[in-house]
Amino acid sequence: MSTLVNFKIDGVDCLAEAGIYLVEAAAENGIYIPTLCNIQGVKPRGACRICTVMVNGRPMTACTTPVTMGMEIQNDTPEINDIRKAIIEVLFVEGNHFCPSCEKSGCCELQALAYRFRVMVPRFPFLFPRREVDASNPKIIKDHNRCILCKRCIRAIKTEDGKNIFAYKKRGIELEIIIDPELGGKITDELAQKSVDICPVGALLPREKAYQVPIGRRKYDIEPIGIEDEKK
Amino acid sequence: MSKKIVATTSLAGCFGCHMSLLDIDEKILDLIELVEFNKSPIDDIKVFTKQCDIGLIEGGCCNSENIHVLKDFRKHCNILVSVGECAIMGGLPALRNGIPIKECLDEAYLNGPSVRHNHKGIIPNDDELPMLLDRVYPCHEIVKIDYYLPGCPPRAELIWNALVALVTGDELKLPYEVVKFD
Ligand code: SF4
Ligand code: SF4
Ligand code: FES
């Protein structure tokens, strides 16, 4: 049998199985810790830092930190939320996010976080980098303008025999996602769909399926991201 | 209480934000009780005739004329609001940012698939025409902007809530449904 541990989030007494990650432990107690690069069930990466919380006074990523007995966690405080907001704003200015013409708009997790945190304007200057759209794959259109390098596609998408289809290319500010030309060229419909679904933004898009849900009925039109956790 | 004076303009925008302002439907009657319009396409007053309380800016800056108008608004309005994605981040016109201006002009006037009758290969360059800027600039990179209302266009309710808050001095209501980027 697993052991249960007591811990506190923003002063609220919580209870969860020892060793599970803080984001999950919080969700089980009806508390939302925002995440972006994290995917449930896949080994966390700690790439985006949106889930930053204070654990016993020190900043930690809640998607990679296991819960232990007696932890004191700060989550929903003005300081931490402002750090999160700043990260969201950085992601907006360092790519090219033209939401009005983006197929993912309304279902995009980055945009949904910006809505939740009421980002009215980024505090940083827009970079407007020149990036390409790569439509060479028969099933997935890849738009580097919107990729936030969260690595979800690399971590979650594998062929049946466990090979990676997505990978990183180049370094630093030039870092980008590539699709293996051979494995990617043979990708099944199912896996292609899984790839575009797993991408939190509009960087991986399916062909001929744009704008199928009308404005007003898209995932984040009415209810904010994270509400599922808070409703528990 | 004397009415607050409002000015509006559309720079590199599509007038969608102005249309959204008109989308407040019958509240437009409340609006004219609340404010008086000065320079604005809504009443077609072309030059400022007095100092204004609130200036609503639609569109970013893509040419020299946009800069001129924006600076004029800053001078004549106590509070300046960026209304919509184009004012806030350049919007769709800023899709050209990152592409050298010569490449854009060549595509538009010489090489584009819809170019038909430009046999002499002319790129418009008359002194009368406003000069294109190297890229499209968000308004707050040109002058100080006091408030931002995102959306493409911003929901009518957001513009209305903001105007009421500015006129009455009450806190702006920002329910989840009104803050959208598309
Ligand atoms: S990926 Fe998301 S944030 Fe980026 S343009 Fe598309 S909807 Fe907007
Ligand atoms: S393509 Fe999508 S899933 Fe892959 S790293 Fe970029 S944003 Fe993340
Ligand atoms: S969700 Fe934890 S670092 Fe991205």
Complex prediction ipTM? 0.93
Residue A224 Cα, gap to closest chain B Cα (Å): 7
Residue B48 belongs to some domain of the structure: yes
Nearest ligand 1 atom to alpha carbon A111: 3
With CB atoms and an 8 Å threshold, state whether A222 touches B176: yes
| Domains of chain B: total | 1
Residue B115 belongs to some domain of the structure: no
Residues of A whose CB is below 8 A from B95: 96, 98, 101
| Domains of chain A: total | 2
Residue B166 belongs to some domain of the structure: yes
Task: Give the confidence band of A1 by pLDDT, cuts at 50, 70, 90.
Answer: low
- CATH no. for residue B53? 3.40.50.700
Same domain membership, residue A123 and residue A54: no
Percent residues over pLDDT 70 in chain A: 100
Please identify, among A76, A101, A127, the residue that sits at the C-terminal boundary of a domain.
A76
- B173 and A CB contact within 8 Å: no
Task: Give the confidence band of A76 by pLDDT, cuts at 50, 70, 90.
Answer: very high
Residue A183 belongs to some domain of the structure: yes
Same domain membership, residue A203 and residue A96: yes
Task: Report the pLDDT value the prediction gives residue B1, as an integer from 0 to 100.
Answer: 61
Residue A173 predicted with pLDDT over 90: no
Same domain membership, residue A156 and residue A211: yes
**Interhelix angle for B156-168 vs B27-34, to 10°?**
30
- B148 and A CB contact within 8 Å: yes
Q: How far apart are CA A75 and CA A84, in angstroms?
A: 11
Ligand nearest the Cα of residue A195 is: 2
| Boundaries of domain holding B141 | 4-95+135-179
- How confident is the model over A78-88, as a mean pLDDT? 98
Residues of B whose CB is below 8 A from A131: 98
| Boundaries of domain holding A218 | 86-222
Residue B56 Cα, gap to closest chain A Cα (Å): 15
- CATH no. for residue A21? 3.10.20.740
Closest CA relative to residue B40, chosen from B17, B64, B67, B63: B17
Residue A41 belongs to some domain of the structure: yes
Q: Which among A100, A116, A130 is the nearest to B152, CB-wise?
A: A100
Widest CA span of chain B, in angstroms?
A: 62
Task: Report the pLDDT value the prediction gives residue A231, as an integer from 0 to 100.
Answer: 87
Q: Provide the H-helix boundaries in chain A.
A: 22-28, 78-94, 109-116, 152-156, 181-185, 189-198, 227-231
Low-confidence ranges of chain B (pLDDT < 50): none
The structure's pTM equals 0.96
What's the mean pLDDT when you consider all of chain A?
Answer: 96
- How confident is the model over A85-113, as a mean pLDDT? 97
- Using DSSP's 3-state secondary structure scheme, residue A35 falls into coil
Q: Which among A100, A119, A221 is the nearest to B85, CB-wise?
A: A100
Task: Report the pLDDT value the prediction gives residue A19, as an integer from 0 to 100.
Answer: 94
DSSP state string for B90-152: -TGGGGGTTS-HHHHHHIIIIISTT--S-TT------TTSPPEEEEEE-GGGTS---EEE-SS
Task: Report the pLDDT value the prediction gives residue A184, as an integer from 0 to 100.
Answer: 94
- Could you report the per-residue pLDDT of A104-159, keeping only the tens digit for each? 999 999 999 999 999 999 999 999 999 999 999 999 999 999 999 999 999 999 99
